[in-house]
Structure 1
C-alpha cells in the first residue's frame, strides 16, 4: 500500500521549487548589461582594471572545461553554471547549436548535471542566430532575450563570448552573484561581471548594485 506524503512535506517541497524558479528568473535577468529603467534596478558602482583575473570567492573552484566560454557562480554554494562552445568535426562552430550550458556541481563531486527543464526554458538556455556577415553568432539567454551577445570563432575549436560595452567588444569570463536567501524569496543584492579586453589584455571587474531584487509577479 502506498503511503501518502505528509501535507507539510508536500508544502515544503512546493515552496522549495517556487524559490528555485524565482531565483532562476532573477539570475537570468542579472546576466544582462545594466538597464536602469528595468526592475530590478541595477546601478554600476565601479569598474576596475587589473593585470590578473580576480577571484570573486577564493573558496570556490573555477571550472576549466573544454571549449568553455563563460561561467556563473553565486555566494549560495560552489555549484557553477558553465557554457561551452560546440564545434563540428572540422573545428567550426556548430550552426545548429553553437553554445550549450550545464551545471558543474562543485558542492558535490564536481560532476556535470544537465539543466532542469525550467532552468533551461526560463533562465539558462540559449537561442542563437548566425550573423549575415559570417562574423559569428548572436546569442541570447532565455532569461534575458533583450540582451545580445556575440559568440565569435577565433580559430579551429576556439571561440569566445563577447559583450559590447562603450563601443568595445569585451570577452566575457564569468559572473558572480551575491544572493540574500534569508527571506521568503531570494534577493540578489550585487552582481560582479568579469571581462577582459582582447586589445590590452587587461581584466575588468564590473561591480553592479541591485535594488528591488526580489521577484514579484
Structure 2
C-alpha cells in the first residue's frame, strides 16, 4: 500500500488524457541533460540534469537538478514545488564508491538508476533496460482513467536508453510493482 501511495505525483492523473506519446515534444539537448520524464495527461516534462558547481565539477552533495519544462503552458522552465520534490518527482541520491551515485525517484524506489562517469568521460545515468545496463534517455508513464490523486491507475512506464557498447537504442515497457 505504501508503494502504491508513494507513486503520488510521479504519476499524477490530472484531467483528460493527452495525445499519444509520439506527439510529445523532445526537450532540447544540453550538456547537463541526463534524462527526462514525460507522462500523460499533458506534455509538461520533468528534466533531470547534472548539477555542477561554479568550478565545473559535479556537486557531490546534490548531483541531480530536477525541474519542469512546462510545454502545456509557454514552454518555460519551472522548479518543482515542495510537494512535487518531496513526494513525486524528486530524486534521491546515495553516494557509492568511486564517485558513483544510486538514484531513484522519491515516489518509486523499485527502479534504481546509477549516475557515473562513463567511458566517454561524461556523466550519464545508467538503468536496466531489457536486462542490460544502458544510458538512460527518457521515461514515459502511461496513466489510464480511474484511480485517484494519491493512487493513479498506471498502465506501464516505458524506459528508453542507449546501449553504450553498440550505440543502439533500446526500449522496454515495465509494469509498476506495488
Q: Please indicate the TM-score interval, normalised by the length of the shorter structure.
A: 0.7 to 0.9
Counterpart secondary structure, 1:148:
strand
Q: What residue number does 1:100 align with?
A: 65
Q: What are the ranges of 5 or more consecutive residues in structure 1 without an aligned counterpart?
A: 1-21, 29-55, 213-217
Aligned counterpart for 2:168 among listed residues 199, 202, 214: 202
Aligned counterpart for 2:127 among listed residues 163, 166, 178: 163
Q: What residue number does 1:57 align with?
A: 21
How far apart are 1:164 and its partner, in Å? 3.6
Counterpart secondary structure, 1:78:
strand
Give CA deviations for 1:27-86 in whole Å, capped at 9, x if unaligned: 36xxxxxxxxxxxxxxxxxxxxxxxxxxx7232111125311111111311111111001
CA distance in 2, matches of 1:146, 1:210: 9
Give CA deviations for 1:8-28 in whole Å, capped at 9, x if unaligned: xxxxxxxxxxxxxx6952736
TM-score, normalised to structure 1, is 0.64
Counterpart secondary structure, 2:88:
helix
Does structure 1 residue 25 correspond to structure 2 residue 8? Answer: yes
Report the aligned-residue RMSD.
Answer: 2.7
Name whichever structure is richer in strand by fraction: 2
Q: What residue number does 1:190 align with?
A: 156
* Gap change, CA 1:177 and 1:164, over 3 Å in 2: closer
Q: Does the CA contact (< 8 Å) of 2:89 and 2:107 recur in 1? A: yes
Q: Does the CA contact (< 8 Å) of 1:174 and 1:194 recur in 2? A: yes
Q: What are the ranges of 5 or more consecutive residues in structure 2 without an aligned counterpart?
A: 12-19
Residues 60-139 of structure 1: pairs in structure 2 closer than 5 A: 60-66=24-30, 67-134=32-99, 136-139=100-103
